[in-house]
Amino acid sequence: MRTDAWLREQLDQLLRGPFSDMTVANRLTVHFGRRAGRRFGSILMTRDKRESRITINGHFRDETVPEAIVQATLAHELSHYAHGFSSPLPKKYKSPHAGGVILREFKKRGLEMLYHYEKQWSKSHWGEYLKAHMEPRAYRSLSRRPAATGLLQLLRHFEW
Ligand SMILES: [Zn+2]
């Protein structure tokens, strides 16, 4: 099982490499959260702005989830940070997912392949992974959401 220390090392690798030109303007922390159905990760800043916290889906502790998926999720949250969302940096866009801004950030940092790999993997593998690993009750409630015509279709619309 991967640990928070492992996660920290993944984050540091991104900060030393593709994100090395980005100013880290407060305390940036990362940890595994609960095992979630749809959100791969999130970033929040404390009210006093001293700390930004990245939370990664607890399912990703499992080593059968490719490392690249964890890296793509971290890079996604770091992109929000770079754009001034949940970070003290100046806000670059109106909203965190304004038209294609995440992809643009990945491209700028030479991570385009990682971006597409993550999209592909989540389409082709995530639904099956959840089926095998989610607690049955949680899985049923996810499947039963009225807007969804099928679980896989629902899973394509990540909010992360
Ligand atoms: Zn996002």
Q: Say if 74 falls within a structural domain.
A: yes
Q: What is the pLDDT of residues 33-87, one digit of tens each?
A: 999 988 999 999 999 999 999 999 999 999 999 999 999 999 999 999 999 999 9
Q: How far is the CA of 70 from the centre of ligand 1 (A)?
A: 14
Between 91 and 152, residue with greater pLDDT: 91
Q: How far apart are CA 142 and CA 135, in angstroms?
A: 11
Phi, psi of 108 (to 5 degrees): -55, -30
Q: How many distinct structural domains can be found in the chain? A: 1
Q: Say if 53 falls within a structural domain.
A: yes
Q: Which residues contact 75 (CB under 8 A, 6 or more apart)?
A: 14, 18, 19, 106, 109, 111, 114, 115
Q: How far apart are CA 133 and CA 47, in angstroms?
A: 35
Q: How far is the CA of 18 from the centre of ligand 1 (A)?
A: 18
Q: Say if 144 falls within a structural domain.
A: yes
Q: Say if 160 falls within a structural domain.
A: no
Q: Say if 19 falls within a structural domain.
A: yes
Domain of residue 86, residue span: 4-155
Q: By the 8 A CB rule, do 35 and 134 touch?
A: yes
Q: How far is the CA of 42 from the centre of ligand 1 (A)?
A: 7
Q: Say if 107 falls within a structural domain.
A: yes
pTM for the full predicted model: 0.85
- For all residues of the chain together, what is the average pLDDT? 89
Helix axes 67-82, 101-108, angle to 10 degrees: 110
